[in-house]
């Protein structure tokens, strides 16, 4: 391998940043992406690592993924620029053994640092990795307009959002049968929103941030991106239907249809919301 960009994880990471940009979910520096690398990917990339940069405290700490390596977007960096200049806009960071500090080992050139939402990404990675036996590797945060718009319309509860989204598009109860979590409006980028998002990730694979955006997780880039796309599409359909009907929907998918659709594809709907 004569360039780190030949590592498929790095290549797919860059592609997903561009995919999100193409969808219109990443105005300016909005949104961020992290990927927890597999040991064999770390070994493949290690010849390109520099170990002379300092450790920086993260503001949160969890030893469960201490010592692991993450590909991350840079804070203040634009998703639209990742594909043309990856080494300036993304990087690889190593976590110390306590899981409380990071150091950049590749990329994030010219003094860039990991996304300001790295604490949220990291705590969610810790929770999901444990819950899925290490399967979950991707955390994705974006600012899709329709799901954000719904946070001005619906009560800010997991039940209200899950039902509205499930009922907007038949695939939804199959794609996210547990529903989505909701975090009330908070200041972005700190330990508080990280703890609140992590708490929701215990129960859901996606978490809405009121008046801000959406967080999704998954075992690979396709699933985390697909979950973002499915939720945003359902939110768009819900808003289109409300707008076209003056806020009064004539009919929708029946409650029992939600469970039946999930079951037909081997999934179990979260019946707490029915």
Query: Residue 8: exposed, middle, or buried by beta-carbon count in 10 A (0-12, 13-18, 19+)?
Result: exposed
Phi, psi (rounded to 5 degrees) for 156: -85, 60
Find the Cα–Cα–Cα–Cα dihedral 222, 228, 229, 232, rounded to 10°: 180
Contact between 75 and ligand 13P by CB under 6 A: the answer reads: yes
Q: How many residues bind ligand 13P (CB under 6 A)?
A: 13
Ranges within 178-237 binding ligand 13P (CB under 6 A): 188-189
42 to each of 73, 81, 107, 190, 258, how far by Cα in Å?
Answer: 17, 24, 14, 28, 42
Residue 88: active-site member: no
- Interface residue with ligand 13P among 17, 21, 31, 129 (CB under 6 A) is 31
254 binds, among Zn ion, ligand 13P, none (CB under 5 to 8 A by kind): none
Q: How far is the CB of 106 from Zn ion (least distance, A)?
A: 24
Contact between 213 and Zn ion by CB under 5 A: the answer reads: yes
Q: Using CB under 6 A as the criterion, what x/- string covers residues 96-125 for binding ligand 13P?
A: -------------------xxx--------
Contact between 177 and Zn ion by CB under 5 A: the answer reads: no
29 binds, among Zn ion, ligand 13P, none (CB under 5 to 8 A by kind): ligand 13P
- Cα distance between residue 120 and residue 143, in whole Å: 15
Q: Does an H or E element contain 220, and which? A: none
Phi, psi (rounded to 5 degrees) for 21: -60, -45
Q: How far is the CB of 158 from Zn ion (least distance, A)?
A: 20
Contact between 151 and ligand 13P by CB under 6 A: the answer reads: no
Which residue is catalytic, options 41, 94, 117, 169?
Answer: 117
Q: For the chain, state the CA radius of gyration.
A: 19
Query: Residue 231: exposed, middle, or buried by beta-carbon count in 10 A (0-12, 13-18, 19+)?
Result: buried
By beta-carbon proximity to ligand 13P, the closer residue of 142 and 258 is 142
252 binds, among Zn ion, ligand 13P, none (CB under 5 to 8 A by kind): none
- Binding residues for ligand 13P, rule: CB under 6 A, are 29-32, 73, 75-76, 115-117, 141, 188-189
Q: Which residues bind Zn ion (CB under 5 A)?
A: 213
User: Which residues are catalytically annotated?
Assistant: 117
């Amino acid at each position: 391998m004569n360039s780190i960009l030949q590592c498929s994880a790095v290549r797919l990471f860059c592609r997903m940043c561009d995919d999100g940009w193409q969808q219109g979910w990443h105005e300016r520096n909005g949104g961020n992406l992290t990927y927890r690398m597999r040991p064999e990917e770390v070994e493949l990339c290690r010849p390109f690592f520099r170990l002379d940069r300092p450790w920086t405290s993260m503001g949160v700490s969890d030893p469960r993924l201490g010592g692991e390596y993450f590909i991350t977007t840079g804070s203040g960096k634009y998703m639209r620029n990742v594909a043309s200049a990856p080494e300036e806009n993304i990087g690889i960071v190593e976590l110390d053994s306590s899981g409380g500090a990071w150091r950049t080992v590749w990329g994030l050139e010219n003094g860039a640092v990991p996304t300001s939402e790295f604490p949220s990404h990291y705590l969610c990675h810790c929770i999901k990795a444990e819950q899925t036996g290490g399967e979950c590797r991707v955390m994705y945060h974006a600012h899709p307009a329709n799901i954000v718009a719904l946070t001005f319309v619906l009560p800010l509860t997991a039940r209200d959002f899950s039902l509205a989204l499930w009922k907007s598009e038949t695939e939804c109860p199959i794609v996210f049968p547990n529903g989505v979590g909701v975090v009330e409006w908070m200041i972005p980028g700190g330990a508080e929103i990280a703890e609140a998002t992590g708490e929701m990730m215990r129960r859901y694979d996606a978490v809405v941030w009121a008046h801000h955006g959406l967080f999704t997780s998954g075992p690979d880039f396709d699933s985390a991106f697909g979950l973002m796309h499915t939720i945003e599409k359902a939110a768009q359909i819900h808003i289109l239907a409300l707008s076209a009907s003056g806020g009064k929907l004539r009919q929708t998918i029946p409650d029992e249809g939600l469970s039946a659709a999930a079951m037909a594809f081997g999934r179990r709907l979260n019946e707490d919301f029915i």
